[in-house]
Amino acid sequence: MGKVYKRFTESVNMATTIIEKIWKEHELAVDDDGRSLIYIDRHLTHEVTSPVAFEDLRIRGRKLRRPDLTVAVMDHNVPTGPREEPIRDELSYKQMQALYKNSEDFGTILLDYYSPFQGIIHIIGPELGLTLPGMTLAAGDSHTSTHGALGALAFGIGTSEVEHVFATQTLWLKKPKTMEIKVSGSFGRGVYSKDLALFLIGQLGTGGGIGHILEYTGETIRSMTPDERMTLCNLSTEAGARSSIISPDDKIFNYVRGRAFAPEEDDFNEAVEYWKTLASDPNATYDKSYSFDVSGLKPMVTWGTNPSMVVPVTGSIPSPDQFEASRRPGIEAALKYMGLTPGQVITDIKVDRVFIGSCTNSRLSDLTIAARVVKGRKVSKSVRAMVVPGSQYVKRNAERKGLHSIFLEAGFEWRNAGCSMCIGMNEDQLLPSERAASTTNRNFENRQGPGGRTHLVSPAMAAAAAIEGHFVDITQWDMPEAI
Amino acid sequence: MDVVAGLAVPLLRENVDTDQIIPAQFLRILTKNGLGRYLFYRWRYDQDGKPTPGFVLNDERFRKATVLLALKNFGIGSSRENAVWALTDYGIKAVIAPSFGDIFYENAVKNGLVCIRIDEKLIQQIGKEAEAGGLTVRINIKEQSLSYGSQSIHYTMEPSVRRRLMSGEDEIENTIKYENKIMAYEQRMKKFYQIDRKRLLYE
């Protein structure tokens, strides 16, 4: 007879959201100012935002409260070339060395540069079963919103908060407002989760989600695979939301089953019974609710210097006149930085570089779609294109399926896992005024290298741009259904 | 800290993301000191490392500015606390904007950087007066008031933020007082959220 896990706070009678259920379950106290002390079940940390936090613990003689719930990984600054080569960048090397020492001194689990399970923090969490429905999770990275796709309540945090979690396994949080994003309709051929996410950011704006946790609901979300949900939740932070979530269902439970650190057998069955109680109640209410229909949604391409500056691939570069007066200086500055002129047709824009990777779009399913687009074709002579799998596990699985051969034969570089050109901390960078089609999450000025120009797109759109040397409408692309 | 006052500098742009406040290149550090020189690096310096003429922080009139005026969504993007460390190391004591990125805002409080939310029109107005240089803005955290020239206005702030800015408390020290509550949770924590470390050996 298995153990029946109940929510500590099950007596609440009102219809509530998954956000409130997980919040209440982890709320240890409320202070005089109305902030909640929230227990953090899982803490993921990496080499770039952790060293100052570890050092502060050391200076103050504090311990890491729960090293057994803390997993460290090297992802942000690591080279993506062959692992047997020496690490040339001295500063990156020092940060990696610091994480070795800190993990050893404080006892955390470490997936280092050479681990077969190394990868981007938001890829490996779900992939290894470290991220589970119903848990609270924190990581010193804004794209921590990704983990909500599995039904975890996940928060991106700064280094001082990382230190707070290290020392106490808790965070003080003001209860955010809730925002429901209800999505209906079916994706057309060649239109993906990434396009929905970019469309939503365009609608909400970069600050639309500030102070909120987003919950994605509706038939379209239910039809999406766990990977697709991760892409969507990953990008919530680009609409200003620190966290986002989707009520877990059978698709998620099946995804979790059998993963390295997921519960097994009876434990798993008991967990599922518990997780089933977490879904938002049908009559639950939100501080804000929006509805969108994806029927007719087109592949999206960003044209500016934040992810809300986005148009369909069938569109053209907007004119500053189309915006209200107060926004025009920002629009003009973005166009100037991007080297674009109003009225320019998106499919006429040529690209120099293509990057397929990042915590947004580097899972096996992303690489599979890109490989379908590329199969039997060649990368345009004017383009340098690279694929950086999200983890070494993704890489191995892609190689088992032969995807690497498709990319390599087409002329793509096939590299090792890391954040790579999404953040431009290692040698994978754009040169000044180089233009990239990128499956990443930020088109900020200089993000992918000083003076570089980034257009955010789906993996299929990026792959097609690599072949043609300019953006193309992937919905018109001839590609095999399977490979 | 009850009062912050200083020369205002208008950086009247929307969506100033943390990549602009400090580029990722400068995150490869082991301590938080000395990041002021990298503040707004790509805006402040050209590709040869020379100061960009026309960028407001390179303007002699604002050399000693400590109060930054910006438009909506200041500090969106990456969670890098380095953005706050760069601002404070440079000498910025307060940022006034209509809205802030959530993580940036919390990072700022943790480091005693005062972030005040006020209406955009008002910021434009203060910005106009600040443009000539020499405008002092004074923020009274205790009274939740902001004054410049002959004007004085009231703003609102989360009580917890106000309290923490004023006390400068060590938050971890405070949380440790909740040890009983933390332990109680750990005793009832679901078994399946524990990590079985042994499995690392089999993978």
Q: Tell me how far apart the alpha carbons of residues B63 and B51 are, in angstroms, rounded to a whole number.
A: 13
Q: Answer yes or no: is pLDDT of A12 > 70.
A: no
Question: Taking a C-beta distance cutoff of 8 angstroms, is the pair A262, A256 a contact?
Answer: yes
What is the reported pLDDT for A9?
Answer: 59
Q: Which of A25, A49, A59, A64 to probe the B interface (max B CBs under 10 A)?
A: A49
| Residue of chain B whose Cα is closest to the Cα of A271 | B192
Contact predicate A372/A476, CB 8 Å: no
Question: Scanning the structure block, which residue is given the tokens 């967990």?
Answer: A271
Q: What is the DSSP letter of A316?
A: B
Q: Does A358 touch chain B (CB under 8 A)?
A: no
- Partner residues linked to A302 by β-bridges: A310
- Which amino acid makes up residue A29? A
pLDDT value at residue A1: 43
Q: Which among A119, A149, A120 is positioned nearest to A232, based on CA atoms?
A: A149
Contact yes or no for A442 and B77 at CB 8 A = yes
Whose tokens are 């097609």? That residue is A464
Q: Which residues of A touch B27 (CB under 8 A)?
A: 48-49, 76-77, 425
Q: Best residue in B11, B12, B15, B105 to probe A by mutation, most A CBs within 10 Å? A: B15
Mutation site for A-interface testing, chosen from B56, B76, B169, B183 by largest number of A Cβ within 10 Å: B76
Q: Which residue of A has its CA nearest to B20?
A: A445
B172 with A168: Cβ contact below 8 A: yes
Q: Do the Cβ atoms of B107 and A109 come within 8 Å?
A: no
What Å distances lie between residue A198 and A183, A238, A311, CA to CA?
14, 9, 9
Q: CA of A372, closest CA in chain B: separation in Å?
A: 30
Q: Do B102 and A26 touch (CB under 8 A)?
A: no
Say if residue A2's pLDDT is above 70. Answer: no
Contacts of A104 (CB under 8 A, 6+ apart): A110
Mark yes or no for CB contact A168/B175 under 8 Å: yes
Q: Which two tokens stand for residue A59?
A: 């200076």
Burial (0-12, 13-18, 19+ Cβ within 10 Å), A112: middle
Nearest to B178 among A26, A28, A109 (CB): A28
Chain B: closest CA distance from residue A447 (Å): 7
Distance from CA of B132 to the nearest CA of A (A): 20
Partners of residue A450 in chain B, C-beta under 8 Å = 23, 42, 47
Strands (E), A226-286: 243-245
Averaged pLDDT for residues A252-270: 96
pLDDT of residue A284 exceeding 60, the answer is: yes
How many H-runs (helices) and E-runs (strands) does chain B carry? 9, 7
* Nearest Cβ partner for B195 among A69, A170, A271: A69
pLDDT score of A474: 98
Considering the entire predicted model, what is its pTM?
0.97
One-letter amino acid for residue A465 of the chain: A
Closest chain A residue to the Cα of B24, Cα to Cα: A425
Q: With the C-alpha atoms ordered A8, A10, A14, A15, is the resulting torsion angle positive or negative?
A: positive
pLDDT in tens, A126-157: 999 999 999 999 999 999 999 999 999 999 99
Do residues A178 and A17 make contact, with C-beta atoms less than 8 angstroms apart?
yes
Q: How far is B162 from chain A (nearest CA, A)?
A: 10
8 Å CB contact of B81 and A49? yes
pLDDT in tens, A84-108: 999 999 999 999 999 999 999 999 9
Query: Cβ of A330 and B19 within 8 Å?
Result: no
Where would I find the H helices in A33-189? 51-59, 90-106, 121-127, 159-168
CB A448 within 8 A of CB A431: no
Task: Verify whether the Cβ–Cβ distance A26 to B29 is below 8 Å.
Answer: no
Give the number of other CB atoms < 10 A from CB of residue A246.
Answer: 29
pLDDT bucket at A205, cuts 50 / 70 / 90? very high
Whole-angstrom CA distances from A261 to A21, B197, B198 are: 24, 8, 10
Out of A42, A71, A423, name the one closest to residue B24 (CB): A423
Q: Do A327 and B14 touch (CB under 8 A)?
A: yes
Are B79 and A156 an interchain contact pair (Cβ–Cβ within 8 Å)?
Answer: yes
Q: Quick check: B29 and A91 CB within 8 A?
A: yes
* CA dihedral (A447, A450, A455, A458) positive or negative: negative
Which of A33, A73, A141, A422 to probe the B interface (max B CBs under 10 A)? A33
pLDDT above 90: percentage of residues in chain A: 96
- Select from B12, B84, B88, B85 the least CA-distant residue to B55: B12
Size of interface A-B (CB pairs under 8 A): 212
Each residue's pLDDT expressed in tens, for chain B with a length of 203 residues: 899 999 999 999 999 999 999 999 999 999 999 999 999 999 999 989 999 999 999 999 999 999 999 999 999 999 999 999 999 999 999 999 999 999 999 999 999 999 999 999 999 999 999 999 999 999 999 999 999 999 999 999 999 999 999 999 899 999 999 999 999 999 999 999 999 888 876 54
Smallest Cα distance from B83 to chain A, Å: 10
The pLDDT tens digits for A35-58 are 999 999 999 999 999 999 999 999
Contact indicator for A192, A228 with CB cutoff of 8 Å: yes
> Long-range contact list for A268-273, CB < 8 A, 24+ apart?
A268/B192, A269/A2, A270/A2, A270/A3, A270/A4, A270/A5, A270/B192, A271/A5, A271/A132, A271/A133, A271/B190, A271/B192, A273/A2, A273/A4, A273/A5
Q: Which of B129, B121, B172, B100 is nearest to A159 (CA)?
A: B172
B153: which strand partners? B146
Chain A 84-103, CB below 8 Å of chain B: which residues? 89, 91-92, 94-95, 98
Dmax over CA atoms of chain B, in Å, equals 71
Residue pLDDT, tens place only, A152-185: 999 999 999 999 999 999 999 999 999 999 999 9
Question: CA of A31: which chain B residue's CA is closest?
Answer: B160
**What is the distance in angstroms between the Cα of A156 and the nearest Cα belonging to chain B?**
7
- Partner-chain contact B28 A160, CB within 8 Å: no
- A163/chain B closest Cα distance in angstroms: 8
Could you report the predicted ipTM of this complex, rounded to two decimals? 0.97
